[in-house]
């Protein structure tokens, strides 16, 4: 098996009725704390959500075949 390391972004949101919703995404790099705050704070301020928590970091998973990896943003490619 082949170990592949991904950066996984996870956001867990507490809805007004107390239920949880979660969102995960394989990202090329973790977003900044400021970007994550901007993703959630306006919804909290409007009362659309009661609370939230987010995390991002590397996760290594084992594969039989290597998956197609996301391309880095164009500005990160060397010229």
pLDDT tens column, 5-55:
989 999 999 999 999 999 999 998 999 999 999 999 999 999 999 999 999
pTM, full prediction = 0.75
Q: Is residue 78 part of a domain?
A: no
Q: Which residue has the higher pLDDT, 34 or 68?
A: 34
Q: Is residue 68 part of a domain?
A: no
Model pLDDT, residue 10: 97
Q: Is residue 49 part of a domain?
A: yes
Q: Is residue 17 part of a domain?
A: no
Give dist(CA 28, CA 26) in Å, integer.
7
Q: Is residue 40 part of a domain?
A: yes
Structural domains counted in the chain? 1
Please check the confidence at residue 73 and state whether its pLDDT lies above 80. Answer: no
Model pLDDT, residue 20: 97
Contact 24, 9 (CB under 8 A): yes
Phi, psi of 45 (to 5 degrees): -60, -35
Alpha-carbon dihedral sign for residues 26, 19, 54, 57 = negative
Q: Is residue 18 part of a domain?
A: no
41: nearest Cα among 31, 30, 52, 32: 52
Domain housing 41: 1-12+28-55
């Amino acid at each position: 098996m082949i170990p592949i390391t991904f950066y996984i972004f996870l956001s867990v949101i507490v809805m007004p009725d107390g239920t949880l919703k979660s969102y995960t995404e394989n990202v090329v790099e973790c977003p900044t704390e400021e970007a994550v705050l901007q993703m959630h704070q306006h919804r909290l301020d409007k009362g659309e959500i009661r609370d939230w928590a987010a995390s991002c970091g590397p996760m290594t998973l084992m594969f039989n075949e290597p998956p197609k990896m996301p391309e880095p943003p164009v500005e990160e490619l060397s010229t």
